A and B are shown apart, each in its own frame.
Chain A
Amino acid sequence: MLHIDNLHAAVDGKAILNGLTLHVPKGQVHAVMGPNGSGKSTLAYVLAGRPGYEVTDGTAALDGQNILAMEPEERAAAGLFLAFQYPVEVPGVGFMTFLKTAINAQRAARGEEPMPALDLLKSIRKASRALGIGDDMLGRAVNAGFSGGEKKRAEVLQMALLGPRCAILDETDSGLDVDALKTVADGVNALRSPDRAFLIITHYQRLLDHIVPDRVHVLSQGRIARSGGPDLAQEVEAQGYGAA
């Protein structure tokens, strides 16, 4: 489903990804681990199309479509979702308005009618409840004054509502206490399906206790240094990245 081949990318003229190759078949969950600064977020941003992240070589395709040629919103409409490591505050824009706008924008891109307001409200309420997100949070501006944990739950809520084909979660576990980690993991597990692929970026192994991956990859110096089964996560955790 997600095919990344020999990807090279630079930020501010500095090469960060140096020939990264990674294939995530549909129905699978792959984890990417790596020390701070190894290029994990850069990979996520390059795939999502963040301006300023320049692809210098290689390819990335979703369901056979070259996503690198698309605008960020086209990638989203094609089914790509990025849960941000640092979700962005959008002052003055209500979280509810934001959710409605995003859902209907993606429907419009697929040639569908806007979702009826009442259905929209119901599905947002239902998905929010499952993630322990209260009405007060829905009533605030996007990520404004949200705690670290609230921001991460809000990312998972967006993922649940948008129902992407391929989701990239960038350190969605960081800053979460044990209970919140469990809630978020349950939210992700509920979305696992034979038609969907996940790329879980994490610095620690603990999230992978809850979301058991099919494959684990270790990122080092902008490329995949090692790949293995779920055991690799434990090994990396025990021995540190130096041994990888």
Chain B
Amino acid sequence: MKTPVASWVTTLRAQGAGAFAAAGLPRADQDGWRHTPLPPDLMTRFGAGVAPLDVTYAGPEGLVHKLMDCYTGAVPALEWLEGLQSRPARGPLWALANAHLRDGVAVDIPEGAALDVPLVLTLTGHDGQFLMTRTAIHLGPGARATIIEHHRGAGSYWNNRLSQIVVGQGAHLTHIRFQGNSTDAVYTQTTAVEVSGGGTYEAFNFVTGAALSRLELHVDLLAPGAAARAHGLSLLRGSQLADHTTTIAHRARGCESAQHLGFILDRAARGVYQGRVRVEPGADGTDAQQRSRAVLLSDQARMATQPELEIFADDVQCAHGATCGALEGSALFYLRARGVPEAQARALLLQGFAAEVLAEVADADTRAAMEERVTTWLSAA
């Protein structure tokens, strides 16, 4: 019954299994994981067997394929897929994803295609599941597309996800994620993006879900004029933790990157932003901006911010700004002095804080959907 998969897939699985067996899960004493302790029993709790992926798709036809169909040859081969998926693993979670290479989707946007309708993927996790989901996205030269991912679920599960993305020359990908997983779930997401000359990768991660989430983003700006904008807003309460760890490598002259991360942290929630910008030799004229801002609504809430700049080029503009603190007391008093009750004034200030981050979202409908979720989140306090 089982159709054999391509041999490179089998090879990748074996390599991944070997690498993960040697390294094990990232531990809190390892670089980059100090603020984000993965539950040590993740593998024993969930690792027994990988659950089938529950994914639905809405959008233009013919562009999204099940990975398994690509591996078995059920759909015509995508000539970029093997090369992209065979990139060296960056870290044990990537290796683990390779070990279980099976489920997921390939998105193939051909050269010059300009999609005015978004591609919408909805992934649902269920109690007790171990999910190893995978996305491979390829935009040919000059293509334009918007991909919206909804992550949700119920109960306790672990989704270890790997997304690999190629943005071709002059292409533009808008990549929106609504991370609304179950607040009992663990969500580890590694995204690796390669941007060609004049191309743009524009991401916004809207995070309200998971007990622990790690969004690890690697962007390589490969040729002049490549740009990456990776923004996000995380609204967390209880003992939720959201980690945004990014590495943006400027590998050619005249590339731009911008990051604007906002966190609203209530009760014992924790936010982590580790942003590394690497400007490689010859990447002159780089412009790299990083901004992280957190509002702490309780004494127990914590924010860890760690920007890191490695600059090996000239004529480079790099800026990092970080703020972290309670709601501005003078603004709160100003609103109350106008007759706005304290609770409502606080909510309005938080909405204002969120709106400043959401201003990075170019599409008005997406922004409105996020604003609505902010309101819902605030009213659930």
Contacts and interface: CB of A to CB of B under 8 A. Distances in A.
Contacts of B359: 92
B30 interface: no
B334 to A, nearest CB: 4
Interface stretch (B57-65, B98-106, B349-357): B349-357
Contacts of A101: 335, 340, 344, 348
Interface string A84-119: 100111111100011001100110010000000000
Nearest to B340: A105
B349 A88 contact: no
> Chain B, interface size: which category?
20 to 34
Nearest to B353: A92
Given A84-B334, A87-B334, A101-B344, A106 B352 contact: no
Interface in A47-102: 48-51, 71-73, 75-77, 82, 84, 87-93, 97-98, 101-102
Contact of A91 (B342, B345, B353): B353
A138 interface: no
B339 A88 contact: no
Main secondary structure of the interface of B (DSSP, over half): helix
A84 B337 CA distance: 10
B339 A76 contact: yes
A158 interface: yes
Contact of B333 (A51, A106, A141): A51
B255 to A, nearest CB: 29
A93 B352 contact: yes
Contacts of B351: 92-93
A74 to B, nearest CB: 9
Interface string B326-344: 0011110111111111101
A48 B354 CA distance: 28
A24 B337 CA distance: 20
Given A91-B331, A105-B338, 9 more contacts: A49-B336, A73-B340, A76-B339, A77-B339, A90-B335, A93-B351, A98-B335, A98-B348, A105-B341
5 contacts: A51-B333, A71-B336, A90-B335, A101-B335, A105-B344
Interface of A: 48-51, 71-73, 75-77, 82, 84, 87-93, 97-98, 101-102, 105-106, 109, 141, 158, 162
